[in-house]
Structure 1
Amino acid sequence: MPHAPDTMTSADILIETLINWNVDTVFGLPGDGINGIMEALRVRQDRIRFIQVRHEESAAFMATAHAKWTGRLGVCLATSGPGGAHLLTGLYDAALDRAPVLAITGMQAHDLVDTFTQQDVDLTRVFNDIAVFNTRVADAAHMETVAGLACRAALAHRGVAHLAIANDMQEQALDDAARSSRNKPRHTPDQWFQGRRLPMEADLDRAAEVLNAASRVMILAGRGAAGAAAELEATADLLAAPIAKALLGKAVLPDDHRHVTGGIGMLGTLPSQEAMEQCDALVIIGSTFPYIEYYPEPGQARAVQIDRDAERIGLRYPVEVGLVGDAAETLRLLNDRLRRKTDRRFLEQAQAGMTRWRRMMAMARSKTDMPLKPQVVAAAFGRRLPDTAILASDSGQNTELAARHVDLRPGQDYSVSGTLASMACGLPYAIAAGLAFPDRPVFAIVGDGGFAMQLGEFSTAVRYGVPLKLLVIKNGMLNQIVWEQMMFLGNPQFGCELQPIDFAKAAEAMGGTGFTIDRPEDVERVLDQAFATDGAVVIQAVVDAYEPMMPPKLPPQKARNFRQALPETPGHERIEAAIAAEPLHSMIEAGTGGDDKAG
């Protein structure tokens, strides 16, 4: 039974605070450093659920994904020492993508801390690089204040908050705490306050002047533009502007929208890159897309950026006007000041480019070659996603497949580890989505490298009844790293081969269902069977390991590096054949201008 209010322990206060802050899920793994917190969760399991993971890294990824999918606070829990340290990768994901997450970790007994006892790791020091709020809880009276403050800090700063709690202090009753005379009970409310954040009127006028004077306006939209689709459409129409989407902004507008030119960067499209190279004005909305080389040349375009965080304005490109405010509100105010452009040629050029790009991608998706091409199965998987689907991907070549070959429709959602770009995120992201939205179908595209890192987490999907359909791109290779080794420095592939795992059998061993596709003529039939199967499903697609991953335009230097690395790279004959065929041949030609020496 729960403790009476006057005998609430630190752990009770913590969990009651989470409930009051509308937290309904805690992701974690038990350990003796958090026994008190586990008991507080046990006696409240009718009001807050504990999701047991197989690795604490997954708990942090799930908490991060929960925050991204829902907009609410994500919470992860780990024991002292190694348990807390295992959270780090997922928490860096939250910190870099600005997701509000509270990490709770245990500690050894308060009077043995820093005495070299077992698992004596000062996790407040470990987390200091990533946390917007980070403290060691002194006692129950301290917990009464800092638990809500940690929640508030994570939400207000959209970052990671951390509470470290000694295991004996978790069980300390509030009336046993040595409360100081100035620490009045319950002096901090369990709520936080949000207001409208709007830019200055003068900045709106200046932004409108810049954009009204331009003739070739490009828009870059990121995750911060979510919830502003109608306003973004109106802006693009007024400015006759193509819209490139950063990866985290993939679901902001449908991929077939008349203004959308697809992704940007290594995973992007040729029309997006060409529009960036030719624009004379750039509008960045809710994005800090990190690859500076894919922006216009500094001085080429006048730039306006909209972000609710002033620190993010001008991070990637010299910005003439920064509009600090929420995307939808700011765009509404800006649109009232914009004049509709009568010259639509820049937009029409981008639209014609997208028609050509889609034809090129259709070539890749229709190949009947053996070994099976990954684009074929990724596109067929994407076509089957229902209208309310939630899609996650991992980091690697599978990200490129999701970005280029899965066209999202209205009502569908997508996320990934963005700025951190960590492997092993796809499965935890998908599980978090299924738990947050049990009425929506959940899907993931992952690689064999990333999936193997957290393979046991598939049993978590089975355990909690997540009806996940997970496509594993199995090429026996850390494929993205292969092409980066070759293109970035001109080095032959080395160290990237993977020992094969039968993921279909592994899925069945964990209580799910497994399917295998290894021939193009089987793709449609097997996918139909897999999508008709209830519960957690793995579809392993055995694909060509030598299908290159290319940017939309291969720069001359990278083309020279690639050519230099080819002769000593295993399978170079098959790679040569692949790049001689469409659409890869055209993608290389676009960057090198037909220079055979470069390409």
Structure 2
Amino acid sequence: MARIAAESLIERLVEWGVDTVFGIPGDGINGIMEALRRHRDRVRFVLVHHEEAAAFMATGHAKATGRLGVCLATSGPGGIHLLNGLYDAKLDHMPVLAITGTQETSVLGTAYQQEVRLDRLFDDVAEYNMMVTNPVQLPALVDIAVRTAYARRGVAHLTMPNDLQVAEADADPWKQVGPVRPPATSARYLSPPGVPRREDLERAAEVLNTAERPAILVGAGALHAREEVLAVAGLLAAPVVKTLPGKAVVPDDSPYTTGGIGLLGTRPSEDLMDDADVLFMVGTNFPYTKYLPEPGRARVVQLEADPTRAGTRIPTDVPVVGDAKEGLRALLPLLNRRTDTEHLSKYQDKMAKWRADMDALESAGRDPVAPQYVVSVLDDLAADDAIMTCDSGTIATWAARHWTVRDGRGFYLSGNLATMAPGLPYAIAMQHAFPGRQVIAYVGDGGFAMLMAEFLTAARHGLPIKVVINNNNALGQILWEQMVLGYPEHGVRFPEPEPDFSAWARTCGGFGAKVATAGEVAPAIRQALAHDGPALVDVSVNPNEPPMPGRVTYEQATKFAQAFLKGQPHKAAIATTLFKDRIQRLGD
């Protein structure tokens, strides 16, 4: 058989270390599918049920491994479906390559069936975006696409007409005009130096060494720098606040951390942001500026890998450009050890009280089942190196506050896009990348329903993911957002009956359990974790459990009260839950 051009694409990806492609076949990529078949001993094609899930899987793969994630979709609607997952990669700065097909070159521009200019459609989401127009371009275009995805921490897109996919790999049908020759490139990426400039480090150290009430804010860009973050915190006697994507930077039981920040964060972290005289931001471009110190209230040092993001959120006295791990290593010798630990001790005491409050909400004696209790059971029973993936919604609040990162545990969710539905696809991609680790998708009923067919993907590929559904039969986060705005709830609670997703799990050949009482939670989760294959536990939880901010503002409380006065239909149940929560905190 003649070597086709699509093989040149796949072979080049192999040279880049790609061993997995997530996607769905279609007539617009038949040539690429044939190339994957011919090279199936080197690249595994993971057949999914929706292209959006394929893009989420590629993004999840990149988040968990640091390596390029690759997804594949056919022309027209297939490529369109990739977009949400690709924007997740773009906004969280993950290297992902999207490959799509398009119509034969002879019909392009003639309004042919499913003809969508995907290169134009992807113009905003992609850092590199190119249509292949000649087979001999392929090695160079693949190299540039992959190199750009790594260098710019984002999405690259290649789309290839159907006829070129099956053309001979070395075909060069057009006469070259002038001194033109396709570039001979190499499948190699050299990351830029991560050590910041010496003068910037010295300026940063000068500010940090004068801090009386320091605070460190870390994000996903510091996930690989745990030891260095803790070393800096130890020298400065500084509490460490974590963004949600950066939850695994330092363990949740560390004596240095005050936990999360923002709507899903802790009260000690909010107090610290108001109190700090110096804020050191490491590996984060945290967007919710209302939770950061007011401009001028604290001096700010930011260690950021991307020069365009340094100093974009808050007036920054010393922006430092460099890798979090290498930058902190270079900074450490310049820092003075702070002997006064009163500031740190103050926040350790605050955090001890916060943890006690959270523990009180994990009671097994509450009816309906408290979502906090479900996560606490997962936290107790999961392995010390378990990976949790999470969707957006109230579940992110419960996971942020009740899933404890310790030892080698991981935690991943859609950060800046905050989209629904990535939890399940993430889990599949991460289980594929780490077959020996326990991978748990903690998701809501709303998000799970969007891409629930991918549980069948896990079963068909023999991936033993564990899914725990926080089923409140509602779009819970939107309900509370409406109330905080002072609006009565509308369009957020699904009509009865409440779905039983465990039946779907069993239909797929996996383990499935439906749980309605607190006493059933631990046995069901224990069975699921022990099951040799994909497993799902669908837990009916209290739909009126409020994901309250760490510190409720007067405005939030006022709007919340106004929503009640406007005829909140479930106000009695909500008020009862709030009262029970308060009593639980005071009584335990």
State the TM-score, normalizing by the size of structure 2: 0.97
CA shift, 1:558, in A, is 1.2
Alignment-derived partner of residue 550 in structure 2? 552
Q: Give the partner amino acid of 1:552.
A: G
Alignment-derived partner of residue 495 in structure 1? 491
| Coordinate RMSD, CA, aligned | 1.5
Q: Taking structure 1 as reference, are residues 446 and 182 closer, same or farther at Cα in structure 2, changes over 3 Å only?
A: farther
Alignment-derived partner of residue 308 in structure 1? 305
Does residue 256 (structure 1) correspond to residue 227 (structure 2)? The answer is no
Partners of 2:585 and 2:363 in 1: CA distance: 17
SS at match of 1:193: coil
Alignment-derived partner of residue 34 in structure 1? 29
CA shift, 1:334, in A, is 1.4
Alignment-derived partner of residue 523 in structure 1? 521
Q: Give the conservation status (yes or no) of the 8 Å contact 2:364–2:519.
A: no
Partners of 2:528 and 2:568 in 1: CA distance: 36
Partners of 1:104 and 1:238 in 2: CA distance: 47
Q: Give the conservation status (yes or no) of the 8 Å contact 1:29–1:77.
A: yes
Q: Give the conservation status (yes or no) of the 8 Å contact 1:305–1:322.
A: yes
Does residue 374 (structure 1) correspond to residue 371 (structure 2)? The answer is yes
Alignment-derived partner of residue 68 in structure 1? 63
CA shift, 1:65, in A, is 0.6
Q: Taking structure 1 as reference, are residues 509 and 309 closer, same or farther at Cα in structure 2, changes over 3 Å only?
A: same
Aligned counterpart in structure 2 of residue 89 of structure 1, from 84, 90, 110: 84
Q: Deviations over 1:327-386 (max 9, x none)?
A: 111112211111111221111111001110011001100151211111111111121110
Q: Taking structure 1 as reference, are residues 335 and 584 closer, same or farther at Cα in structure 2, changes over 3 Å only?
A: farther
Q: Give the partner amino acid of 1:581.
A: K
Q: Deviations over 1:51-88 (max 9, x none)?
A: 01100000000000101111111000000000000000
Deviates more, 1:118-127 or 1:8-17: 8-17
Alignment-derived partner of residue 564 in structure 2? 566
Partners of 2:147 and 2:345 in 1: CA distance: 47
Q: Give the partner amino acid of 1:68.
A: K
Q: Deviations over 1:91-132 (max 9, x none)?
A: 000000000000000101112112111111001111101111
Partners of 1:524 and 1:28 in 2: CA distance: 36
CA shift, 1:185, in A, is 5.3
Q: Give the partner amino acid of 1:285.
A: V
Q: Taking structure 1 as reference, are residues 182 and 471 closer, same or farther at Cα in structure 2, changes over 3 Å only?
A: farther
Alignment-derived partner of residue 591 in structure 1? none
CA shift, 1:225, in A, is 0.8
Partners of 2:395 and 2:284 in 1: CA distance: 22
CA shift, 1:525, in A, is 2.2
SS at match of 1:18: helix
Q: Taking structure 1 as reference, are residues 38 and 415 closer, same or farther at Cα in structure 2, changes over 3 Å only?
A: same
Partners of 1:583 and 1:324 in 2: CA distance: 45
CA shift, 1:135, in A, is 0.7
Q: Give the conservation status (yes or no) of the 8 Å contact 1:462–1:535.
A: yes
Q: Give the conservation status (yes or no) of the 8 Å contact 2:360–2:584.
A: no
SS at match of 1:133: strand
Alignment-derived partner of residue 447 in structure 2? 450
Alignment-derived partner of residue 18 in structure 1? 13
- Gapped regions of structure 1 (runs ≥ 5): 588-599
CA shift, 1:524, in A, is 2.1
SS at match of 2:144: helix
Partners of 1:261 and 1:542 in 2: CA distance: 31
Q: Give the partner amino acid of 2:512.
A: G
Q: Give the conservation status (yes or no) of the 8 Å contact 2:6–2:166.
A: yes
Does residue 459 (structure 1) correspond to residue 456 (structure 2)? The answer is yes
Alignment-derived partner of residue 348 in structure 2? 351
Alignment-derived partner of residue 592 in structure 1? none
Partners of 1:67 and 1:318 in 2: CA distance: 31
Partners of 1:61 and 1:173 in 2: CA distance: 33
Q: Taking structure 1 as reference, are residues 263 and 583 closer, same or farther at Cα in structure 2, changes over 3 Å only?
A: farther
Q: Give the partner amino acid of 1:491.
A: Y
Q: Give the partner amino acid of 1:506.
A: W
Q: Give the conservation status (yes or no) of the 8 Å contact 2:260–2:269.
A: yes
Q: Give the conservation status (yes or no) of the 8 Å contact 1:103–1:160.
A: yes
Alignment-derived partner of residue 174 in structure 1? 169
Q: Taking structure 1 as reference, are residues 414 and 136 closer, same or farther at Cα in structure 2, changes over 3 Å only?
A: same
Q: Percent identity?
A: 47
Alignment-derived partner of residue 508 in structure 1? 506
5 Å-filtered alignment, 1:146-161, equals 146-161=141-156
Q: Give the partner amino acid of 2:17.
A: N
SS at match of 1:142: helix
Deviates more, 1:337-346 or 1:217-226: 337-346
5 Å-filtered alignment, 1:137-286, equals 137-178=132-173, 180=176, 182-184=179-181, 187-286=184-283
CA shift, 1:144, in A, is 2.9
Q: Deviations over 1:298-340 (max 9, x none)?
A: 1111000011111111121111101101111111221111111
Q: Deviations over 1:440-478 (max 9, x none)?
A: 111110000000000101001111111111110000110
Q: Deviations over 1:399-420 (max 9, x none)?
A: 1111111111111111111100
Q: Deviations over 1:521-569 (max 9, x none)?
A: 2222222222222210110110110111111011111111111002412
SS at match of 1:422: coil
Q: Give the conservation status (yes or no) of the 8 Å contact 1:91–1:130.
A: yes
CA shift, 1:585, in A, is 9.7
Alignment-derived partner of residue 594 in structure 1? none
Q: Deviations over 1:251-279 (max 9, x none)?
A: 11110001011111111111111111100
Partners of 2:285 and 2:584 in 1: CA distance: 31
Q: Give the partner amino acid of 1:158.
A: R
Q: Give the conservation status (yes or no) of the 8 Å contact 1:139–1:172.
A: no
Q: Give the partner amino acid of 1:347.
A: L
Partners of 1:412 and 1:583 in 2: CA distance: 31
Alignment-derived partner of residue 576 in structure 2? 577
Partners of 1:161 and 1:529 in 2: CA distance: 41
Partners of 1:583 and 1:23 in 2: CA distance: 52
CA shift, 1:196, in A, is 2.1
Partners of 1:521 and 1:55 in 2: CA distance: 36
Q: Give the conservation status (yes or no) of the 8 Å contact 1:449–1:498.
A: no
Q: Taking structure 1 as reference, are residues 391 and 87 closer, same or farther at Cα in structure 2, changes over 3 Å only?
A: same
Partners of 2:19 and 2:30 in 1: CA distance: 20
- Gapped regions of structure 2 (runs ≥ 5): none
Alignment-derived partner of residue 315 in structure 2? 318
Alignment-derived partner of residue 130 in structure 1? 125
Aligned counterpart in structure 1 of residue 98 of structure 2, from 103, 106, 124: 103
Partners of 1:579 and 1:502 in 2: CA distance: 27
Does residue 439 (structure 1) correspond to residue 439 (structure 2)? The answer is no
